[in-house]
């Protein structure tokens, strides 16, 4: 038997085995990219990397938006919980004020409900507010300072 090369005209496969029929089978084998293929792969990689960066930026933006919405809802829930627990909230309320100069206290009454809202200590300005309009200026001085008028 001679060592002849059989060429399968469909596969361009050469074999040095003696007169043997060639059998074809497809398997995974290394493929070496050409320079133009590498250049094309580099371009594709750059495009996909850019897309990933854009998607990450959008994700950050959306996450930030959701965080802001969640924080806002959490703040409202905490506020409502606090109001419910306390049973009241502080509001601007028009009040009638009564002065008790002897005890140095002014009392606030809600104009709508008549309910007493709070008592506070009077300050010097409050003493002036509590005096009747016809009181003389020297009497105001006496009440505010507590000094006796020299006669």
Euclidean distance between CA atoms 17 and 3, whole angstroms:
6
The answer to pTM > 0.75 is no
pLDDT, tens digit, for every residue of 65-122?
A: 999 999 999 999 999 999 999 999 999 999 999 999 899 999 999 999 999 999 999 9
Unique residue bearing structure tokens 């959701």: 66
Compute the average pLDDT of residues 38-48. Answer: 97
Residue 106, judged by CB atoms within 10 A of its CB (0-12, 13-18, 19+), counts as: buried
Q: Which residue has the higher pLDDT, 67 or 132?
A: 67
Name the CA radius of gyration of the chain, rounded: 48
Unique residue bearing structure tokens 């089978």: 25
pLDDT higher than threshold 80 for residue 52 = yes
């Amino acid at each position: 038997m001679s060592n002849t090369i059989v060429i399968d005209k469909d596969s361009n496969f050469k074999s040095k085995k003696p007169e043997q029929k060639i059998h074809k089978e497809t398997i995974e084998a290394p493929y070496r990219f050409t320079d133009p293929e590498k250049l094309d792969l580099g371009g594709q990689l750059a495009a996909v990397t850019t897309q990933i960066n854009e998607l990450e930026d959008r994700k950050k933006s959306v996450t930030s938006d959701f965080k802001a919405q969640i924080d806002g809802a959490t703040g409202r829930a905490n506020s409502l919980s606090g109001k419910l627990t306390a049973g009241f909230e502080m509001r601007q309320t028009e009040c009638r004020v009564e002065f008790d100069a002897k005890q140095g206290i002014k009392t606030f009454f809600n104009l709508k409900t008549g309910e007493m809202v709070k008592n506070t200590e009077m300050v010097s300005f409050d003493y002036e507010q509590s005096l009747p309009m016809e009181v003389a200026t020297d009497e105001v001085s006496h009440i505010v300072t507590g000094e006796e008028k020299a006669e």
